[in-house]
Structure 1
Amino acid sequence: MSNDNDPPKWEAKSTAKLCKSSVEEVWPLVEDFCSFDKWLPTIDTCHKIEGSNGEPGLVRYCAATDGGGGVLRWCHEKLVTIDPSARCLSYQVLENNMGIKGYMSTIKVIPMDGGDGLHGCLIEWSFLADPVEGMSFGDMANYLDLGLRAIAENIEKALEKSELQNID
């Protein structure tokens, strides 16, 4: 139950365009909940710790390391909802060592300009969270925006590379 004296939740949304990739190409990469380390450069490892792939209740472990094997930041995140027809998933942060509490995030893959989704798409990443001690709202929103841009760039590069390999 929230108290009138509780600080307001932080809420932000970021969107990235993928001009060369279709919704049908991008969604399978995004819906693979335990592949975050392939797309987000600040995550070094991401793997399932419990649950079934593609099913609500799946819990993943994500971590960033110092390059020498030591873990700097880690979290357990739970897949709350997944809707392949709407190309949308939501997850929450469970345990972590970053002071994040009450964090819920949604990622959507949307056809560009409301079109057929065959000629470009958008990835939308939003979150709602309790304020994090030692961090500003701007820092958290900036991490989301920079992270999403990197994810979009990495997905487009991977899909482009895959297309080139299929031509050979």
Structure 2
Amino acid sequence: MEEADERKWKGKAKTEVRGHKAEKVWPLIADFCGLSKWFPTPTCIPVEGVSGQAGCVRFCAGFKTPVDQKDKQTVNWTKQKLLYIDPTNMTLRYTITESNVGFYSYVATWRVIDCGEGSEVEWEYEVEPAQGWTLQQLNSFASSGLQVMGLRMEADLTTVDQALRLSN
């Protein structure tokens, strides 16, 4: 068993959400089935349980990966199960239960952390090596997706703050 664990790929990506503290960013992450609002995944819908509660399952599809061929005809998809959510520590953990992108034994942890004048979203993951992928490609996919996510969250939270200031 230890030998199999040593063979797993491990990675971490981070992004800043400037100007917005963790308590404002956390509800966006905790909305487990709302991932498509932030991450470059066109489809993310609940398929089982209640979004944001341990045991719920989301279906994510339509995202591009670094290993996709230009003439690829199939849609990339994953089913992801929320294993654990801790609002106090602003942490959640999920696993991919099914997919057509080659991930097996995938487990990820997301955290939101205060830092300076803003916050940071951290995505740690562990997965068995995926056929057709390199760890560098997986790290690039996570990092670029998380950067887009951070910028979208920052923009939307800034819009809310500005609108509320103007209405007062």
Kept after mapping to 2: 8 A contact 1:62/1:74: yes
Q: 1:5 to 1:16 in 2, by over 3 A?
A: closer
Match of 1:99 in 2: 102
Kept after mapping to 2: 8 A contact 1:64/1:71: no
Question: Structure 2: which amino acid aligns with 1:150?
Answer: V
Q: How many residues align?
A: 158
- Cα distance in 1, alignment partners of residues 89 and 2 from structure 2: 34
Report whether the alignment pairs 1:109 with 2:112: yes
Deviations 1:23-79 (A, max 9, x none): 1110000100001101012x101011011222110000000169xxx8611110000
TM-score by length of 1: 0.87
- 1:1-168 aligned at under 5 Å gives the runs 2=1, 4=3, 8-41=7-40, 43-64=41-62, 72-112=75-115, 119-166=117-164, 167-168=166-167
5+ long unaligned stretches in structure 2: 65-72
- Cα distance in 2, alignment partners of residues 91 and 23 from structure 1: 20
5+ long unaligned stretches in structure 1: 114-118
Give 1:17 deviation, angstroms. 1.5
- Cα distance in 1, alignment partners of residues 4 and 156 from structure 2: 47
Kept after mapping to 2: 8 A contact 1:7/1:131: no
Kept after mapping to 2: 8 A contact 1:91/1:105: yes
Deviations 1:86-125 (A, max 9, x none): 0000000011111110100000000105xxxxx3111110
**Equivalent residue of 1:144, what SS?**
helix
Structure with the higher helix share, 1 or 2:
2
User: Which stretch of structure 1 is more off in the superposition, 80-89 or 10-19?
Assistant: 10-19
Give 1:165 deviation, angstroms. 2.3
User: How much is the aligned-residue C-alpha RMSD, in angstroms?
Assistant: 1.9
